[in-house]
Amino acid sequence: MISFEPLQILLIKRKISKMDFVEQVGISPSTAAKMWKNEYVALKVIDDICNKLGCSLTDVIEHIPDKKNI
């Protein structure tokens, strides 16, 4: 599973609200909602986030292995 928890932590540390994040990055509220639910978003969106926030991929997402495959 891909988790966007690192992004949520980054936004809290930088004191950026979810709505400010949506505006700064230029994504739709529905795309942001998918991210908060750990649903699929295009890699282009993740690339845009990294570029706009000046952060790395690991600041945005993390991989959580499926328990059944461990």
The Cβ-side half-sphere exposure at 31, using a 13 Å CA radius, reads 15
CATH no. for 2-69 = 1.10.260.40
Per DSSP, the three-state class of 56 is coil
Domain ranges of the chain: 2-69
* Helix or strand (DSSP H, E) at 63: strand 62-63
Query: pLDDT tens digits, the chain, 70 residues: what are they?
Result: 999 999 999 999 999 999 999 999 999 999 999 999 999 999 999 999 999 999 999 999 999 998 876 5
pLDDT at 62: 97
Q: Is the dihedral of CA 9, 12, 17, 22 positive or negative?
A: negative
Q: What is the Cα–Cα distance from 18 to 29, expressed in whole angstroms? A: 9
pTM of structure: 0.88
User: What are 64's two structure tokens?
Assistant: 């959580």
